[in-house]
Amino acid sequence: MAVSEHDFEPIRGLPGELPKGETLVWQGAPDWWALAIRAFHVRSVTIYFGVLMAWRGVASVMGGADGISALQAALGLAPIALLAVALLVGLAALTARTTVYTITNRRLVLRFGIALPKAINLPFAIIEGATLRNNGGDNGDIAVTLLRPNKVAYVLLWPHVRPWKLSRPQPSLRAIPNASAVALQLGQALKAVHGERGVVHTPTQSPEPTAPKGALSPA
């Protein structure tokens, strides 16, 4: 039976035992296919190669090639396209398999990493607000904004970070099922720590609702 480094975790997804008074609220992981689409851009890469293959076929016809030759020229890119998509899907599946998101009554923990596992602890005291983004169906991303000057490197977090927020990276729970319910649990946990100032605004009508600015600012 194979043994992984995660087998030695005292609690799945956590680097150590929970301190006295801390309890688990929720644990989960990304949906691998949604992660492949959202973070690894499998759909965009597939479309790119499709357009490239079509252009190559058209260019061959315009250059005087017959239909069969043009089709062969277009399909010549198929092995490269299939390899690229397969690698991205494989990476997404491995990323989802090695990721555990944890919400306790005191913090948010992101454990991830295929070759070099790492755990990022985010105490509620440094979380300023949160954003819920619906990806379609019940799947979504939950990104948290940290109170300044707290900051985590974008490269260290990727792909568990809100895309393109480079100057102020936002750690994220990516492509999680039942995202609205998880956001509600996170909001309740934050409220228990911060009172009404800690409520996470998570309406589902807007595609990307945000928490009120400064909702968790210290008094």
Extract the tokens encoding 25: 């609220």
Question: What's the whole-model pTM score?
Answer: 0.80
pLDDT in tens, the chain (219 residues): 443 455 556 778 787 888 888 888 999 999 999 999 999 999 999 999 999 999 988 888 888 778 888 888 888 889 999 999 999 999 999 999 999 999 999 999 999 988 888 899 999 988 888 889 988 888 999 999 888 888 899 999 999 999 988 889 999 999 999 999 999 899 888 887 776 555 455 544 434 444 433 333 332
Give the max Cα distance, the chain: 77
Q: What does the alpha-carbon distance between residue 146 and residue 154 come to, in Å, rounded to a whole number?
A: 13
Q: How many other C-beta atoms can be found within 10 angstroms of the C-beta atom of residue 38?
A: 23
